[in-house]
Each structure stands twice: as C-alpha cells, then as structure tokens.
C-alpha cells in the first residue's frame, strides 16, 4: 500500500467533502441522529469555511492518498493551552480502515506538533464511538475528561477528551 501524506489544497476540497459524507454516514448513523449528521457536515465541511481554514496559520489540513486515491484526511490546530495541539479531525475511508492509515496520520501530526513546540496531542471523540476510541487508545491516547458541548440547533456533542503525551 503506497501512502502519500501531503497538505490539503483547494482542489482537494470537493473530493474531501464527498469522502467526509461517506465516512460520517458509516461511522455516525448509529451514534447520532441523521439531522445532527447533516447539521454538523454542513457546519464543518462547507467550501468557504474549508478555504478559510486552509489559509489560517495555526490550522493544518492533511490528506493521505493511497494508490492514487484520497483515502483519509485530518486537521489539527493550536489551542489556547500552550504546548497542546488538537487533532480536530481524523477520517479514513471505510474501505481503508484498520490498515494502519489512522496511525500513520497520527504519527505525522505528532511530528508536526513537536516541531511546533507542542508536547501533547489532544482530541474530542464521541463517547459512543467505540471504534475510534479503540483506535486512539491503540495509538497512545488516554481519556482525560468527559465534556458536553452545545453546538446549536438543539444538538450537543457528548465527548471524551483524550490526550497523548509526545514526550
């Protein structure tokens, strides 16, 4: 499996949004309502927002291309807490999951975090997303706290914050 990880560029956005829909539908249909899936996809994966994020310092978007096809993407950002970087998104094509791609992306982001002077990688994951929690534990994250975040329209994110020490 030939994996190439590189920054997302504007021409990647359309295929990335298409892939995000496929992954979200598969991953979240049994965890949150369809209305919440649609709301969150619209909120997070619209062209103006993604173009703005690609242009923002302190936010990084990366993609993994496998055998010439977009197979995964991730984004990371600096938080207000010094020395912490947040893994904000990590999504792997269902056809390519459990092959180590998520781990490769986490390694890639960990290296970036270190070069940015960060010693901890954090993330938020839905408490019922057992597959992802399993993947994050496998790759060195541990649960730090539980949070409930109001995201508008009557929806909440019911998450664990997980952290991985890079020291």
Ligand X SMILES: CC(C)(COP(=O)(O)OP(=O)(O)OC[C@H]1O[C@@H](n2cnc3c(N)ncnc32)[C@H](O)[C@@H]1OP(=O)(O)O)[C@@H](O)C(=O)NCCC(=O)NCCS
Tell me which residue of 85, 84, 89 sits closest to 73, measured CA to CA: 89
Of 8-16, 35-43, 47-55, 124-132, which segment contacts ligand X by CB under 6 A? 124-132
CB-based contact 61:88 (threshold 8 Å): no
Q: Which residues inside 78-97 make contact with ligand X, applying CB under 6 A?
A: 90-92, 97
Residue 120 has phi, psi (to 5 degrees) of -140, 135
Task: Candidates 103, 112, 140, 143: give the one binding ligand X (CB under 6 A).
Answer: 103
* Binding-residue pattern over the window 31 to 70 for ligand X, x denoting contact by CB under 6 A: ----------------------------------------
Task: Candidates 49, 98, 128, 144: give the one binding ligand X (CB under 6 A).
Answer: 98
For residues 32 and 39, give the distance between their C-alpha atoms in angstroms, rounded to a whole number.
Answer: 11
Length of the chain: 167
Of 5-13, 36-44, 49-57, 125-133, which segment contacts ligand X by CB under 6 A? 125-133
Q: How far is the CB of 27 from ligand X (least distance, A)?
A: 4
- Measured from the CB atom, the residue of 76 and 90 that comes closer to ligand X is 90
Q: Which residues inside 8-37 make contact with ligand X, applying CB under 6 A?
A: 23, 27
DSSP designation for 10: G
134 binding ligand X? (CB under 6 A): yes
Antiparallel, parallel or unpaired: β 59-66 and 3-7: antiparallel
Q: Between the CA of residue 97 and those of 37, 57, 128, 131, 134, what are the distances in Å?
A: 20, 30, 18, 10, 13
Interface positions with ligand X (CB under 6 A):
23, 27, 90-92, 97-103, 125, 129, 131-132, 134-135, 138
């Amino acid at each position: 499996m030939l994996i190439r990880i590189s920054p997302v560029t504007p021409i990647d956005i359309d295929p990335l949004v298409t892939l995000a829909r496929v992954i979200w539908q598969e991953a979240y249909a049994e965890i949150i309502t369809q209305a919440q899936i649609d709301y969150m996809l619209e909120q997070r994966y619209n062209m103006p927002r993604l173009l703005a994020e690609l242009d923002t310092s302190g936010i990084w978007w990366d993609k993994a291309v496998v055998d010439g096809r977009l197979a995964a993407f991730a984004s990371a950002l600096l938080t207000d807490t010094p020395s912490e970087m947040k893994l904000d998104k990590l999504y792997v094509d269902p056809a390519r999951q459990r092959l180590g791609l998520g781990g490769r992306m986490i390694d890639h982001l960990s290296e970036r975090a270190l070069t940015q002077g960060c010693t901890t990688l954090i993330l938020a994951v839905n408490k019922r997303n057992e597959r992802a929690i399993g993947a994050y534990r496998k790759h060195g994250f541990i649960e730090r706290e539980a949070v409930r975040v109001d995201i508008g329209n009557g929806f909440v994110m019911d998450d664990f914050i997980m952290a991985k020490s890079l020291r």
